[in-house]
Structure 1
Amino acid sequence: MGKTDNNVGQIDIQLKKLVESLIDRKIVPQNWLERVQDVKLSISQSFDQLPKAAKLLVDDKDDMNYYDCKAILEYLENSDEAKAKNFFGQYTSPILKQWIAIVKKYEAGNVFAAEIARKLNENATFEIPALRKSIAQYEKYIADNNRKIVEHQKSIIECNKAYANSCAALKIPGFDIRLELQALVYELPQLFKDIIPLICSLSEAGSYHYQMQLYLHGGNGDNIPHLSALEQFWKSDVQEQDTKVVEITTDHPSRLSEVVGVSSIEEINSTYINKMDTGIDWGTSEEPNAVDIVWDITIDDTSSFVETQEVTEAKRTSLLQDSVERAKLTNDILELQAFLHQRRIELKSIDVAFASQFQTSHQLLAGQNLETIENYLNGTNAAIAALNDKRLQQVLLIKQSPRYLDRLVSNLEIQMNRVEKLQSSINQLEDKNAEMIATVSSNHSKIKCIATATKKLKTKFEQVSLPPLFKGNKVHLLGDISSL
């Protein structure tokens, strides 16, 4: 405690010890809290009877203090309520009497000082720190939610990308999944058409296989192993070869070689030369009645050849679409592949006897070499790869297995549903953030209002109420309240 020039001292008191100090100095009684509760009851009973203008003097009737009651009393004393007095000059207004009694109850035993001291301590030590802590927690929650939102947004991008990749792999737009997957079945004919040339290119390798088996079995073709499915596939258009018509005209004998299935003029000559023994005049006579005949080979109807090609392709496509026939074809190609692997091993070995034993055999065996076998193997590898193509297998499974189709649809729908769930979670987090931001803003406003009211109350309490209670000494309150 210090002294001033007017011999007035200053007392520094910790705010949280002010009530205890007032009781120790016997400025307020120990039962001050009970008296304050009695005053609060009187206030609640009298407040509703006040004029409207008097009520506006108070921010919150449940949080009224001594100074609020003094302000209401002062207003009533200056209003029409104070005009009615009795013979002794006493007020006769019941409302005015009630508030005079309330103020006196506050002043009796200085219980108002203890109440204000407690209020200041609550605001500075508990109320404002609690609001600040609440703000810090809300801001942490908001930051966590924002982090989750960013993570969810990244997950949505990843899910959308994965979904787009899945749809791209299946070659569907991804709008109506089930319908689009079912429509993939219509791609099968074209997929098989792309495989047909690869299998047809194996015919020479198949002939090589046949000739080797024939050689190994001493020329007996009855019991040799056959690539039955492949042979059926290759010969599916043999019956159509006879649709060409050979026509004798008057010029261009060189076009004989254009007949399908005839490789040279000599083959045509050998076919018809025997007719000379039948007595037919072939135009070599010098008789005047002799008829000059010139050979010319033409195709009766060119469109028939195209139609034949289409029919053949349709038959082969039908064979490939049949799962049993397709399995047989695959097995034959694998058998041919294994056979060619073995031939390659044998050809790599330096064995003069092995190399010379086929010299008098079929030209495919006599002319066999490592390069040719490698080409055959490349053909079988390409055919197997095409038959085992992932796209082809997917479409076949979609066609043949409803459960596989359901599983594909389910997997894609799971990706779509995950995106919807993530977006819903983002919306919920954003709603929560909006609520917490509003609460934080409200708490900042509350802190500002409470701090302003607390500072104002502290100043008035220090300057007006405490000096008389401490024998005219100035009182300075210390503690958390100083940092507001």
Structure 2
Amino acid sequence: MNEQNIPIDINTTKLLEWLISRRHVSKDWQNNVLKVREKINNAIQDMPAHEGIINLLSGQHIHYFHCLKIVEILKETEADTKNLFGRYGSQRMKDWQDIISLYQKDSLYLAEVAQMLIRNVSFEIPSLRKQITKLEQSQTECEKKIKDYSKIEAIALKEFNSSCEQLGIAGKNIRMELVGLLKELPKIYEATPEKIKIVLPAIELYSEFNKYLSGKNADLQVLPTLEYLVRHGNTTTYEYTYGEKPVQIEEPISTLSDDEKDSNKIDFGDIDFAENTDNGAEIDFDINTDNGSSIDFGEVTPEEQNIDWGSSGEEGFEIVSHKDVAVNLEESGIVVERTGIDGGLAKGDEALTILDNPKTQEQIINNLMELGAFLKMRLYEMSNDSNMIAMSQMQEAPAILQMQTVESITALNDCINVALDHLTNKRIQHLHNIKHSPKYVDILTATLKQKLSVIEKMKANKVRLEEKIKILREEARNIDPVIKVLIEKTKQLQKEIQGDISRKYQGSQYTGLRLSLMLTSARSASHEGLRLYYQKSVLWF
């Protein structure tokens, strides 16, 4: 191959070292370039209004090749100052010509532009690309978080809707809707006795079994509350306790409120705070009788009213025997009312029905569980090897016990399970707890609202991340044109350096020698550009 066609290949990062080693520039070039930069800063302050100069000075570092272009532009703008000898009288032209002269001394400009080229290729462009990569990674992380937040939101929304569906509420005004559900409770309790009457045969079987084992023929109530419910229905606790209906029912005052603000109020009961102008506010204890009228003790004056305590002797007062006193209560019109079996006022827990009363409801459920345990034990005995022993023990038992089979006991056990499922289903238990436990209402309301707060929080987080993604994309879009401009200017600088160094070797034995610079970048090597000899150490634009 002809030597004149062989280019000199210089790695970009080694360009400045190569220039110093070939003595194209001096080692202390950095000290000299500071003076030139100072002159450039002063010269920029007084520049003509020219579009070409504005483009050269906008957003970039002025170097030697820019100064050459500025001088060419000044030849047009400062043409009026040119004298007969071809020299310019303009101070602007003199300043920029001095700058070019300082640059050309010891090839100072080559060192500066070589350093610019190395900085652009090795630091500026990779740094901007890394910045875009980080922005893209941040976008990916934000998108991943949005998906996670969407999953959490969907789960919380599903749980909230499921809870509301289970409770039978819409979820708009949670506390008010929960308290409003109590209107359904009386209807449910009214229909319950009819639904659990199917356990009556099992109760009778269990009763006969206990009578047979105990040897008592008299009526033996083994499941009193459950049997009463099945036979008499859902009566008041008063009627269940005393055996007759009450004359008057005074239902307990509900402490529940459908307003969250009202739930924090303190109930002082029937205490009447009467205002006293002399001593401030004091409690007025107004004693009321059953018929609502207050007891009037009249006005007692010591001077007008004398109490006769009978005659007193020397040994004290005379004691009057009760035998001497004959009081006919019927003639006097005084009626003594006894509580309980004679009828009376049902108030407090006694005014509640046995299904509504927490104590009696618990007894009913316990009775059903006891009855179910008995039937399961009978099934185990009848289906096991001990069946013969069990049958031998039941030879003298009543017919109702001897006639039972595995199938009949299984059917009775299924009836118990149906009754238990009806009384212990979540909806009825929720309604029961809502009525009898204000704290339960508060906890249930807070639980549902907490799910709503999670949903709102996830929505807010997603909106925030979406805004962040928009900002990151905008930043990446703003950086991309900067990289493109920087690459174009770096390529232009490369050509100018390449041509300048090549001219230095013209006229030597390497006439026609071509300089090839290899630039470090992240672009594919398929780009048409410079030839490379060291592919491992070179990346292309």
TM-score (normalised: structure 1) = 0.70
Deviation for aligned residue 1:105? 1.5
Deviation for aligned residue 1:197? 1.0
Once the two structures are superposed, the pairs formed by residues 15-34 of structure 1 within 5 Å of their partners are 15-34=12-31
**Percentage of matched positions with identical amino acids:** 27
Of 474, 485, 496, which residue of structure 2 is paired with 1:460?
496
Q: Secondary structure at the match of 1:12?
A: strand
Bigger proportion of residues as helix:
1
Residues 142 and 469, structure 2, Cα contact 8 Å, conserved in 1: yes
Aligned to 1:129: 126
Residues 82 and 96, structure 1, Cα contact 8 Å, conserved in 2: no
Q: Secondary structure at the match of 1:477?
A: strand
Q: Which amino acid aligns with 1:394?
A: H
Farther-moved stretch of structure 1 (208-217 vs 49-58): 208-217
Residues 501 and 515, structure 2, Cα contact 8 Å, conserved in 1: no
Deviation for aligned residue 1:93? 2.0
Farther-moved stretch of structure 1 (424-433 vs 196-205): 196-205
Aligned to 2:71: 73
Deviation for aligned residue 1:58? 0.9
Residues 53 and 73, structure 2, Cα contact 8 Å, conserved in 1: no
Q: Deviations over 1:8-58 (max 9, x none)?
A: x85333332222232233322222222222211111112121012163241
Label 1:337 to 1:27 Cα distance change in 2 as closer, same or farther (>3 A).
closer
Q: Secondary structure at the match of 2:137?
A: helix
Corresponding position: 1:229 with 2:225: yes
Q: Deviations over 1:202-238 (max 9, x none)?
A: 45555566667677555555xx446443454424699
Residues 15 and 477, structure 1, Cα contact 8 Å, conserved in 2: no
Q: Deviations over 1:237-284 (max 9, x none)?
A: 9989xxxxxxxxxxxxxxxxxxxxxxxxxxxxxxxxxxxxxxxxxxxx
Aligned to 1:322: 357
Deviation for aligned residue 1:450? 1.6
Label 1:189 to 1:39 Cα distance change in 2 as closer, same or farther (>3 A).
same
Residues 12 and 517, structure 2, Cα contact 8 Å, conserved in 1: yes
Corresponding position: 1:104 with 2:87: no
Label 1:102 to 1:345 Cα distance change in 2 as closer, same or farther (>3 A).
closer
Choose 1 or 2 for highest CA Rg.
Answer: 1
Label 1:373 to 1:76 Cα distance change in 2 as closer, same or farther (>3 A).
closer
Residues 47 and 55, structure 1, Cα contact 8 Å, conserved in 2: no
Of 134, 142, 156, which residue of structure 2 is paired with 1:159?
156
Farther-moved stretch of structure 1 (347-356 vs 195-204): 347-356
Matches of 2:206 and 2:36, distance apart in 1: 117
Aligned to 1:479: 518
Aligned to 2:305: none
Q: Which runs of 5+ in 2 are unaligned?
A: 236-242, 246-349, 521-529, 531-539
Q: Secondary structure at the match of 1:321?
A: coil
Once the two structures are superposed, the pairs formed by residues 42-81 of structure 1 within 5 Å of their partners are 42-53=39-50, 55-60=53-58, 63-79=61-77, 81=78
Q: Secondary structure at the match of 2:172?
A: coil
Matches of 1:341 and 1:400, distance apart in 2: 33
Label 1:142 to 1:384 Cα distance change in 2 as closer, same or farther (>3 A).
closer
Deviation for aligned residue 1:75? 1.5
Q: Secondary structure at the match of 1:324?
A: helix
RMSD across aligned positions (CA):
3.7
Q: Which runs of 5+ in 1 are unaligned?
A: 241-314
Residues 153 and 455, structure 2, Cα contact 8 Å, conserved in 1: yes
Deviation for aligned residue 1:116? 1.4
TM-score (normalised: structure 2) = 0.63
Residues 196 and 317, structure 1, Cα contact 8 Å, conserved in 2: no
Matches of 1:11 and 1:375, distance apart in 2: 103
Q: Deviations over 1:108-135 (max 9, x none)?
A: 2221111111112222222222223333
Q: Deviations over 1:262-308 (max 9, x none)?
A: xxxxxxxxxxxxxxxxxxxxxxxxxxxxxxxxxxxxxxxxxxxxxxx
Aligned to 2:457: 421
Q: Which amino acid aligns with 1:154?
A: K
Q: Which amino acid aligns with 1:387?
A: L
Corresponding position: 1:150 with 2:190: no
Farther-moved stretch of structure 1 (377-386 vs 185-194): 377-386
Q: Which amino acid aligns with 1:126?
A: F
Q: Deviations over 1:304-345 (max 9, x none)?
A: xxxxxxxxxxx9983311222323433444555566667778
Q: Secondary structure at the match of 2:8?
A: strand
